[in-house]
């Protein structure tokens, strides 16, 4: 990475960061990431454990709810796979939000035609991919934290217990860190798909959701509540390898296909 | 050293062949008028030069370096069809983003300078999507001028510009190519405007470059002639043919192509007591030359 | 001035105007891949869901006890206890909403709406024709969902015992409901127009019935919830009878008329960009 | 009867007045040249007439009826800024949809007729997004011509058309106004082209109509002059002053309100002047427009 490439990357990073924080897209995403946990926690706990009696059959159905604030982050490693509400609507939703955000962010370049100005001046496609990965990663970290804070706020409003059995503050931090690095995987997948789909935003979003569904299952195992340093390192290595590998794939795609 | 050198460039979209081994040379500091019908491959060539699409074969050299050379590419200003701006943010923010893209140091003055050139300082704050077609075109030109590029590629920039806009465009192009500091490749259909500023011309048809020449060559190829109308054209024609070799009648005016002074022709006719009612020394302009070229099947 | 030219403008009948616009929409519907993609999605969703229900082996013994539950829940339950009651034909109304948003969004995005509003001055035509086309496409999606559901039901080997009368009523009720949903989604889309991202998000909000479930938790499982679109589509369940069909029809028509009028008002006030 | 009558129309976008108390009358069968700078409100007016924009206040009448009358609007063809076509469908599909929308009977024949006019027959199967700018413009014109509209509104149609395209445009307009009694409202910046086809002109500036004039009136009002070039213009000026009342000498010698070139020629040659140029000319649309604008600026 000689000097010329470095300041090219710097200028590209400046473009992306300026573009990210000047358009309303990222602020909408931040809003969503903060509101979802609050909504989920408040709604379910508010509606929860009120038994609903069905007039025609007289059968009582109890809405099952969150019993502990930390459930928003996931379950401890020994809890089995469960398809119920709590395991679906927790922090892992953020992977889909981030993936969709990355798709929109890249496809906005192609739809507005700004790609003409970008790639006329930049012969190398690598900087574009690297800078997009970095800026999306930073934005997704902010989203993750907002989601976490939203969860705490929601839990407080709903009056859920903050008790921690089987894990402590340390493991929660490790869990968050490892979730952070897994974000890298989702972002680089989304970027590659967006480079393929270019202006066809609907194509990239559908593929990302499809692809995300497959990976979604393994996230709770990789990042349980009682995650240790080992989890963090594993996720870190996985994230970096994935992003570098897919970065080259995206570069290859951008080189080989016509951009306009 | 040439700004752009293209050697047998071919590009086909599916089975339709947009360019078939096109050759093109644009010298330094030239304003190169790129002329051709709709769909003759002008935009394709420009997109190829900017590296936006990939050629099937052929080489493109910019300033004697391969067109993938990063140092050269960062000094190209481009406006192809529409300026690539983000619709829902303000013009100023768009310019700031492009300034960052070019790595310009003191960007605010640079942006103000460029907006002042195209007289768009007033409406820099409203959103891009709310600007009218003409204003968008001026913003596109400002975009291309940002960071004074060494090579400017404009695809029909005059589209949608009003008289004032066209005048600005002429001044800007003449000014920046003054001391060979910048080369301009401009394509347009309004040949009257192009004729005023272009130093070189390239005429393309069905993906092939059929004629490349400098403005001087065009001068030579477009002969001046004396156009005369008299009360009785036939008699005047007979009189003229006695003295001049090449006299042709075209859309009811007599054209004397021999190299002669107009006033001699008039005094000769007067001596033959024929009174011309209309006399003017005229030159075939670019538009007529282009139409004749096209009618003759393109290969002169 | 040259000879006086009498230009006569015969007043096109309401039917002719609507026919014009509808023929455009139907031509576009059948000649672009969008419609077929969503028909396919509507067909494979029941298969996926029933696969999912068969798949997990631990404590919940699978979501469905009867093959027809893939079409509609057993009883009009406004608050869902497990996924089983939720995953039925009502899902069509979510995907239908997405399809309509993309369909109308493309109208605005491509600028074709300029042509429509030039030749059709009354905005009522636009609302009516878009509602009809949306309702039609949703009904087709219901049908493919039905086919997909019965096939996957047969595949999972669940019992097919059902009182055929109420099954038909349930299916008819759901299909009638698509008119109401269509007018809702058309209304959302003429407000958000080009930004069909937002209208798709709203489709999720309305389609999944979160507001109705919320209301149900307050007011309990009572039948006044039927006044909502989601409420009455849940009401068209496997134990539905003639009354529930009539309620569906009534609710659907009422909402269609409301959204139509309000939509026309909004359209006539706003620019079409 | 007038094709278009607009009275004190105003339209604002978030407080900024694009049109302010705007008036306009376009007679039936006219080719109305609509001239104005960038952003002076030309497109806004056209969009109001076509119902794309809802004006704040003001009244628009088409052929004597209110512009919201469906009967009239079904006979309006428009091409404003870009042809609203679906990018992924082919040119044929787009035109077919518009034909269906207009309720035309024999659709295929009409589509081929229109495409033959704009010479785009061989590209009929091409998807719209693959067309170049000029070809998109021709498809837009074809779409506007579908179903023989009574009123045709074209916003800068010559944009992106090549020389042959401009010739085609002139033929189209001449043809439809003659055979189909169609009224055309056309806005353009290339005044040279407009001058060849327009029968009426409307000049707009900053949202107000500053002058509406028919081509005949403009011709009458524009003064004709004879321009002469001799070996000694000063001397010629003195002699010509005796014979004609309004003779002016700046960088060339002009005799105003005179069109008998023979008389001038006789005088000059009999006085042994060497004449190298004598043409009869009149002030064109472009000079008229620039003169009008400069009057407005210093008002």
- Tens of pLDDT along B280-295? 888 888 888 888 888 8
Q: Answer yes or no: is pLDDT of B299 > 50.
A: no
| pLDDT at residue number A77 | 62
Residue C58's pLDDT is 41
The CB-based long-range contact list for B284-287 (8 Å cut-off, 24+ gap) reads B284/B222, B284/B223, B284/B225, B285/B191, B285/B192, B285/B195, B285/B222, B286/B35, B286/B191, B286/B192, B286/B194, B286/B195, B286/B201, B286/B218, B286/B222, B287/B191, B287/B192, B287/B195, B287/D163
User: What is the DSSP annotation of B25-39?
Assistant: EEETT-EEEEEE-TT
Q: Does C211 touch chain A (CB under 8 A)?
A: no
CATH no. for D224-282? 3.30.70
Question: In this complex, which of C9, C24, C114 lies closest to D84 when CB atoms are compared?
Answer: C114
Mean predicted lDDT score pLDDT of chain C: 79
DSSP code of residue D271 = T
Q: Are C69 and C47 in contact (CB under 8 A)?
A: no
Q: Name the percent of chain A lying above pLDDT 70.
A: 85
pLDDT tens readout for residues D92-101: 999 998 888 8
Backbone phi and psi for residue D204, each to the nearest 5 degrees, phi listed first? -115, 145
Q: How far is C233 from chain A (nearest CA, A)?
A: 17
Tell me how far the alpha carbon of residue C99 is from its chain's centroid.
9
Looking at the predicted structure, is the pLDDT value of residue A258 above 70?
Answer: yes
Burial B1-35 (b: 16+ CB within 10 A, else e): ebbbbbeebebeeeeeebbbebebbbbbbbbbbbb
Structure tokens at B199: 């130093």
Listed in order, strand segments (DSSP E) in D28-175 are: 31-35, 57-62, 65-66, 76-79, 151-155
Q: Which of B5, B14, B15, B6 is nearest to B57 (CA)?
A: B6
Convert the pLDDT of each residue in C133-169 to its tens digit: 999 999 999 888 888 888 887 777 777 777 777 778 8
Q: Which helix (H) or strand (E) element contains residue C153?
A: helix C123-156
For residue A221, is pLDDT > 80? Answer: no
- The tokens for C154 are 């047969």
Which residues, 6 or more positions from D245, have their beta carbon under 8 angstroms from its beta carbon?
D257
Residue in C9, C106, C121 closest to D51 by CB? C121
Q: Indicate the range of C233-237, D113-117, D246-250 predicted with least confidence.
A: C233-237
Out of A47, A57, A80, whose CB is closest to C58? A80
Segment A140-175, tens digit of pLDDT: 999 999 988 888 888 888 777 777 776 777 888 888
pLDDT the model gives residue C133 = 92
CA distance B106 to chain D (A): 30
Q: How confident is the model at residue C2 (pLDDT cuts 50, 70, 90)?
A: very low
Asked if B73 lies within 8 A of A112 by C-beta distance, the reply is no
pLDDT, position C1? 42
- A118 in contact with chain B, both atoms CB, cutoff 8 A: yes
**Which residues of chain D neighbour B261 with C-beta distances below 8 Å?**
276
Query: How far is it, in rounded angstroms, from Cα B170 to Cα B198?
Result: 10
In this prediction, residue D299 has a pLDDT band, given cuts at 50, 70 and 90, of confident
Nearest CA in chain B to D286: B163
Q: Which of C94, C270, C115, C95 is nearest to C193 (CA)?
A: C270
Q: Which of B254, B258, B242, B244 is nearest to B278 (CA)?
A: B254
Note whether C121 contacts A: Cβ–Cβ < 8 A: no
Residues 6+ apart with CB under 8 A from D235: D273
> Do residues A103 and A194 lie in contact, with contact meaning Cβ atoms separated by under 8 Å?
yes
Picking from B217, B146, B202, B150, the residue whose alpha carbon sits closest to that of residue B177 is B150
Chains that touch D (3 or more CB pairs under 8 A): B, C
A56 has a pLDDT exceeding 50: no
CB pair distance less than 8 Å for B263 and D274: yes
CB contact under 8 A, A113 and B68: no
Residue B34 pLDDT level (bands cut at 50, 70, 90): very high
- The answer to whether the CB of D278 falls within 8 A of the CB of D264 is yes
The CATH code of domain D29-39+70-219 reads 3.40.50.300
Query: B264: which residues sit within 8 A by CB, 6+ positions away?
Result: none
Q: Are B102 and A11 a contacting pair at CB < 8 A?
A: yes
CA–CA dist C3, B182 (Å, integer): 59
Q: What is the pLDDT of residues A173-190, one digit of tens each?
A: 888 888 888 888 889 999
Helix/strand/coil (H, E, C) string of chain A?
CCHHHHHHHHHHHHHHHHHHHHCCHHHHHHHHHHHHHHHHHHHHHHHCCCCEECCCCCCEECCCCCCCHHHHCCCCCCCCCCCCHHHHCCCCHHHHHHHHHHHHHHHHHHHHCHHHHHHHHCCCCHHHHHHHHHHHHHHHHHHHHHHHHHHHHHHHHHCCCCCCCCCCHHHHHHHHHHHHHHHHHHHHHHHHHHHHHCCCHHHHHHHHHHHHHHHHCHHHHHCCCCCCHHHHHHHHHHHHHHHHHHHHHHHHHHHHCCCC
Residue whose pair of structure tokens reads 């290339």 in the numeric block: D190
What is the distance in angstroms between the Cα of C35 and the nearest Cα belonging to chain D? 14
Do residues B185 and B153 lie in contact, with contact meaning Cβ atoms separated by under 8 Å? yes
Chain C residues closer than 8 Å to D103 by CB = 12, 16, 19-20, 23
Please determine, for residue B36, whether its predicted confidence score (pLDDT) is greater than 70: yes
**Residues whose CB is less than 8 angstroms from the CB of residue A153 and which lie 6 or more positions away in sequence, other chains included:** A37, A38
Residue bearing tokens 């539905």: C240
Does pLDDT of A139 surpass 50? Answer: yes
Share of chain D above pLDDT 70, in %: 100
Query: What are the domain boundaries of chain C?
Result: 19-50+67-269
pLDDT at residue A64 above 80? no
- Please answer yes or no on whether A83 and C52 come within 8 Å at the CB atom: yes
Q: Over chain D, what is the mean pLDDT? A: 86
pLDDT score recorded for residue C83: 58
User: DSSP secondary-structure letter at C10?
Assistant: -
What CA–CA distance (Å, rounded) separates D298 from C90? 68
Whole-number Å distance between alpha carbons of B200 and B285: 15
Supply the pLDDT for residue C136: 92
Q: Identify which of B160, B190, B276 has the shortest CB distance to residue D156.
A: B160
3-state secondary structure of D11: strand
Q: Looking at residue A133, what is its pLDDT?
A: 92
C216/A52 touch (CB, cutoff 8 Å), yes or no: yes
Q: At A227, list the tokens.
A: 């995650």
Q: Report the alpha-carbon distance of residue B52 to residue B64 in Å, rounded.
A: 20
Q: Does C54 touch chain A (CB under 8 A)?
A: no
Rounded CA Rg of chain B: 23
- A-chain residue closest to B150, CA distance: A121
The pLDDT of residue C222 is 67
pLDDT at C81 exceeding the cut of 70: no
pLDDT at residue D186, as a whole number: 92
Residues 6 or more apart whose CB falls under 8 angstroms from that of C56 comprise: A81, A83, C62
> In the predicted model, is pLDDT for residue B14 greater than 50?
yes
Q: How far apart are CA D272 and CA C13, in angstroms?
A: 78
Q: What percent of chain C has pLDDT over 90?
A: 6
Q: Which helix (H) or strand (E) is C114 found in, with range?
A: helix C112-119
- Note whether B2-213 and B223-283 share their fold: no
- Per residue in B114-153, pLDDT tens? 998 888 888 888 888 888 888 888 899 999 998 889 999 9
User: In chain D, where does the domain assigned CATH 3.30.70 lie?
Assistant: 224-282
d(CA B204, CA B37): 8
> Is 0.85 exceeded by the ipTM?
no
Q: What is the three-class DSSP state of B108?
A: helix
Q: Show residues of chain A in contact with C217, CB under 8 Å.
A: 46-47, 50, 52, 63
Average pLDDT over residues D13-27: 86
**Contact (CB<8Å) D150/C9:** yes
- CB contact (8 A) between residue A121 and residue B74: yes
Any bridge partners for residue D34, and if so which? D187, D202
Tokens of C9: 């403008």
Q: How many CB atoms lie within 10 A of CB C223?
A: 16
Sequential DSSP letters for C157-220: T------HHHHHHHHHHHHHHHHHHHHHHHHHHHHHTT-HHHHHHHHHHHHTTHHHHHHHHHH-
CB burial class (10 A; 0-12, 13-18, 19+) of residue A255? middle
Domain ranges of chain A: 28-41+66-256
DSSP string for B154-206: EESTTTT--HHHHHHHHHHHHHHTTTS--EEEEE-S-HHHHHHH-SEEEEEET
Asked if the Cβ–Cβ distance from B162 to D37 is below 8 Å, we say yes
Note the pLDDT of residue C59.
36
Per-residue model confidence (pLDDT) at position A259: 79
Residue A63 touches partner C, C-beta closer than 8 Å: yes
pLDDT in tens, A71-98: 777 666 655 555 555 666 777 788 888 9
| Mean pLDDT to the nearest integer, D193-209 | 89
Query: Is residue B300 pLDDT above 50, yes or no?
Result: no
Q: Is B283 on the interface with D (CB under 8 A)?
A: no
Copy the structure tokens of residue D235.
């001397």
Q: What is the largest CA-CA distance in chain D?
A: 73
Specify the pLDDT at position A52.
Answer: 47
Question: Stretch D264-269: mean pLDDT, rounded?
Answer: 83
Specify the residue for token string 């004032």.
B164
Please give the CATH number for the structural domain made up of B223-283.
3.30.70
D200-205 and B65-66 beta bridge pairing: unpaired
Residue-wise pLDDT tens digits, D56-93: 899 999 988 888 888 888 888 899 888 888 888 899 99
How many helices and strands, by DSSP H and E, does chain C display?
A: 11, 0
The pLDDT value given to residue D200: 93
Residue C241 has pLDDT above 50, yes or no: yes
Chain C interface includes A82 (CB < 8 A): yes
CATH architecture of the domain formed by B2-213: 3-Layer(aba) Sandwich (3.40)
């Amino acid at each position: 990475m000689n000097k010329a490439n470095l300041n090219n990357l710097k200028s590209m990073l400046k473009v992306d960061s300026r573009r990210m924080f000047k358009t309303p897209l990222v602020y909408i995403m931040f809003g969503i990431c903060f509101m979802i946990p609050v909504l989920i926690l408040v709604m379910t706990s508010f509606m929860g454990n009120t038994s609903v009696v069905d007039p025609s059959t007289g059968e009582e159905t109890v809405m099952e709810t969150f019993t502990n604030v930390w459930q928003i982050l996931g379950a401890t490693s020994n809890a089995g796979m469960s398809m119920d509400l709590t395991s679906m609507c927790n922090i892992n939703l953020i992977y889909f939000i981030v993936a969709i955000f990355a798709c929109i962010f890249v496809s906005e370049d192609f739809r507005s035609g700004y790609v003409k100005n970008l790639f006329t001046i930049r012969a190398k496609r690598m900087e574009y991919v690297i800078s997009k990965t970095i800026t999306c990663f930073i934005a997704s970290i902010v989203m993750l934290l907002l989601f976490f804070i939203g969860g705490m706020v929601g839990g407080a409003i709903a009056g859920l217990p903050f008790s921690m059995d089987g894990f402590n503050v340390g493991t929660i931090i490790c869990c968050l860190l490892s979730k952070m690095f897994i974000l890298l995987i989702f972002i680089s997948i989304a970027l590659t798909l967006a480079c393929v789909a270019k202006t066809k935003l609907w194509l990239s979003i559908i593929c990302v959701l499809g692809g995300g569904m497959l990976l979604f299952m393994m996230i709770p195992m990789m990042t349980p509540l009682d995650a240790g340093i080992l989890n963090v390192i594993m996720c870190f290595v996985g994230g970096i390898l994935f992003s570098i590998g897919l970065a080259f794939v995206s570069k290859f795609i951008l080189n080989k296909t016509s951009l306009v | 050293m040439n700004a752009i050198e293209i050697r047998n460039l071919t590009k086909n979209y599916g089975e339709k062949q947009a360019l078939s081994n096109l050759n093109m040379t644009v010298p330094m500091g030239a304003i190169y008028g790129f002329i051709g019908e709709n769909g003759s491959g002008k935009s394709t060539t420009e997109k190829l030069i900017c590296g936006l699409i990939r050629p099937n074969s052929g080489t493109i050299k910019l300033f004697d370096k391969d067109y993938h050379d990063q140092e050269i590419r960062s000094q190209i200003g481009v406006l192809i069809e529409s300026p690539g701006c983000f619709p829902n943010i303000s013009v100023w923010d768009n310019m700031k983003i492009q300034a960052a893209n070019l790595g310009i140091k003191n960007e605010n003055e640079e942006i103000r300078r460029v907006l002042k050139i195209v007289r768009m300082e007033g409406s820099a704050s409203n959103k891009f999507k709310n600007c009218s077609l003409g204003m968008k075109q001026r913003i596109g030109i400002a975009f291309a001028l940002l960071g004074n590029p060494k090579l400017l590629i404009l695809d029909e920039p005059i589209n949608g510009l009003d008289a004032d806009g066209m005048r600005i465009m002429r001044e800007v192009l003449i000014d920046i190519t003054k001391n060979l500091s910048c080369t301009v490749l401009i394509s347009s259909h309004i040949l009257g405007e192009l004729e005023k500023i272009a130093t070189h011309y390239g005429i393309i048809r069905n993906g092939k470059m059929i004629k490349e020449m400098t403005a001087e060559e065009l001068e030579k190829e477009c002969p001046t002639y004396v156009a005369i109308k008299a009360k009785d054209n036939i008699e005047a024609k007979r009189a003229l043919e006695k003295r001049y070799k090449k006299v042709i009648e075209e859309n009811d005016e007599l054209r004397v192509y021999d190299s002669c002074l107009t006033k001699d022709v008039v005094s000769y006719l007067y001596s033959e007591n024929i009174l011309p009612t209309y006399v003017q020394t005229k030159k075939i302009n670019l538009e007529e030359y282009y139409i004749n070229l096209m009618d003759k099947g393109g290969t002169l | 001035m040259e000879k006086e030219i009498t230009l006569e403008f015969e007043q096109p009948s309401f039917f002719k105007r609507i026919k014009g616009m509808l023929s455009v929409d139907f031509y576009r519907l059948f000649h672009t891949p969008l419609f077929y993609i969503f028909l396919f999605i509507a067909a494979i969703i029941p298969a996926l869901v029933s696969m999912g229900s068969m798949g997990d082996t631990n404590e919940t013994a699978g979501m469905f006890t009867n093959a027809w539950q893939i079409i509609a829940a057993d009883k009009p339950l406004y608050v869902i206890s497990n996924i089983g009651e939720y995953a039925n034909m009502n899902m069509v109304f979510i995907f239908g909403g997405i399809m309509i948003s993309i369909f109308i969004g493309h109208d605005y995005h491509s600028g074709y709406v300029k042509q429509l509003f030039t030749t059709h001055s009354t905005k009522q035509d636009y609302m009516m024709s878009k509602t009809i086309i949306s309702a039609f496409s949703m009904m087709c999606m219901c049908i493919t969902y039905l086919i997909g559901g019965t096939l996957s039901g047969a595949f999972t080997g669940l019992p097919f015992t059902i009182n055929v009368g109420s099954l038909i009523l349930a299916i008819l009720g759901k299909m009638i409901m698509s008119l109401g949903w269509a007018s809702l989604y058309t209304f959302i889309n003429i407000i958000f127009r080009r930004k069909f991202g937002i209208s798709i998000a709203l489709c999720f909000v309305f389609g999944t019935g979160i507001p109705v479930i919320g209301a149900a938790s307050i007011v309990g499982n009572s039948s006044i919830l039927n006044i909502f679109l989601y409420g009455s589509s849940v009401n068209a369940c496997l134990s539905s009878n003639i009354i529930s069909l009539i309620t569906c029809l009534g609710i659907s028509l009422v909402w269609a008329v409301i959204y139509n009028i309000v939509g026309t008002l909004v359209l006539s006030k706003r620019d079409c960009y | 009867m007038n094709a278009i009558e607009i009275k004190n129309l105003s339209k604002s976008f978030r407080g900024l007045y694009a049109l302010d108390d705007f008036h306009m009358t376009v007679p039936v069968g006219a080719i109305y040249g609509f001239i104005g700078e960038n952003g002076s409100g030309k497109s806004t007016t056209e969009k109001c007439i076509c119902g794309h924009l809802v004006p704040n206040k003001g009244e628009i009448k088409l052929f004597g009826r209110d512009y919201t009358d469906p009967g009239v609007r079904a006979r309006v063809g428009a091409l404003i800024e870009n042809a609203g076509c679906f990018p992924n469908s082919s040119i044929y599909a787009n035109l077919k949809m518009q034909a269906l929308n207009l309720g035309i009977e024999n659709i295929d024949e009409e589509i081929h007729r229109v495409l033959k006019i704009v010479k785009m027959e061989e590209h009929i199967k091409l998807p719209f997004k693959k067309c170049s700018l000029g070809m998109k413009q021709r498809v837009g014109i074809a779409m506007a011509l579908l179903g023989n509209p009574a009123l045709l509104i074209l916003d800068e149609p010559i944009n992106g058309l090549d020389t042959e395209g401009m010739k085609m445009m002139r033929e189209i307009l001449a043809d439809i106004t003659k055979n189909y009694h169609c009224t055309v409202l056309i806005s353009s910046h290339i005044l040279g082209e407009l001058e060849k086809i327009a029968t009426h002109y409307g000049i707009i500036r900053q949202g107000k109509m500053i002058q509406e004039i028919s081509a005949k009136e403009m011709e009458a009002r524009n003064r004709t002059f004879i321009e002469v070039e001799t070996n000694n213009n000063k001397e010629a000026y003195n002699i010509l002053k005796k014979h004609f009342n309004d003779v002016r000498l700046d960088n060339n010698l002009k005799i105003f309100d005179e069109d008998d070139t023979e008389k001038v020629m006789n005088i000059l040659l009999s006085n042994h002047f060497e004449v190298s140029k004598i043409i009869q000319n009149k002030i064109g649309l472009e000079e008229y427009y620039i003169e009008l604008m400069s009057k407005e600026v210093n008002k």
